[in-house]
Chain A
Amino acid sequence: MKVKLFYFAKIREAIGVDREELDLANDIKTVSDLIEVLKGRGSHWQDMFSMSSSFRMAVNQEMVEATHKISTNDEVAFFPPIAFFPPITGG
């Protein structure tokens, strides 16, 4: 199963990758399974994906939970929690 992966902001910088395509094994069914694969790459990957509070994910540009099932040709993105807060734009 082929998927496109995108990484943004702090995560992108930490792992040094902004996008990639992966051909996943048949036993990878959910985003959670995919995260385990990424953590297996070690060092920065392990650091970035160990704490569920430090990242969010989207499949085909919709925010999802880690239990979300992935399908072939899905676009999966990982990024930090969305970061605006009032003092920035005078709001």
Chain B
Amino acid sequence: MPDICLYCQVHQPYRLRRYRFFDIGTDTDYFDVEANRSILRKVAAKCYLPANQLLLRMIEDSSGTFRLALSITGTVLEQLADAAPETLESFQRLVATGAVELLGETYYHSLASLADRDEFEQQVVLHRMTIHKWFGKWPTVFRNTELIYSDDLASVVAGLGFQGVLVEGAERALGWRLPNFVYEAATAPGLVVIPRNYQLSDDVGFRFSNRNWHGWPLTADRYASWIASSPGDSVHLFVDYETFGEHQWADTGIFEFLGHLPAECARRGISFVHPRDLAKRQPVDKLAFPTPTSWADTERDVTAWLGNGLQHAAQQRLYALRDRVLLSGDRRTIERWRRLTTSDHLYYMCTKWFSDGDVHKYFSPYDTPYDAFIAFMNVVEDLEQALAPQLVEQPPHLAWPGYGEMACMA
């Protein structure tokens, strides 16, 4: 009988406001404070609060057998502290039960792992300190933004002191192997790799309310039986926390499903385990990830964030500023730059599925990926001008993309 390892991702970005070209040099409010607050409160009311409450009850009712892991980004913690402190407290109560393991990740839910190793390490450390500050825990298992992972990253993660890492169970890396075991990173001996069972995870995350799906309606009973009949040592279910109440609304029965899961699992002898428990197990094999994988889209690669010219241009332009941003020594500038590293900004620029009209997929505050690009580039332009006073003297039209980088190199 396999064990079950449940982990949920909690994240909200700082969405940009509609920053226009003529705001550059005159306006330093990059983020839509009102929209971010109201979205956060809405998500808190629909998902975080009711789900936390339910989990708390499940933990109490199960007398210590039900457990799960959460990974909470720095950007969502900041926003909770600001706009919904009672929700933050409810997370703290949940963690205080001891049944919730907190994972490590980048503070800003960024793509720094693909752009700048120094920045990546700094953001991971920043997140670790923040988790300790709010929850008094030190994460020992790592999950990168959107489960992005490759061989290059393994040694960096191990170097930061983590014992395990969560990855996507992509066929490209697994080959004939099952995701229901733990493996060892090919490039970092001792680092345990825990692959996501995307089939069973997406049954809950994406297909739960799909009436055309053969598994509908999905009950805890049926789901537990699928897990019980799965081969392997442990089934790794990784989903967004917003699945509960936000992606899948309460009226789909998602909370009832979650609430009944521990009893249905217990009935079949399935135990819940933490990622840190799995990180202590003996890996069955080594696993190599030559190219980056992620849990996004059917491609399970990084093209959702770095798949077109807009995204590459935006990412390069942003990271080209890093040295000067840090050298400025200005706390507010550094913080704002780092908030721009949040992966969501690039995700909004994704054009992969856009023509198919599948715009809802993006949870994007923009009409089009092109609007996302313009707002982002305008903000970066403003940030750059503020960094280099000599550029402000130039008429704005001379500050073409690339100009800043050239100035930096010279």
A and B held together in a complex: no
Q: B residues bordering A, Cβ < 8 Å?
A: none
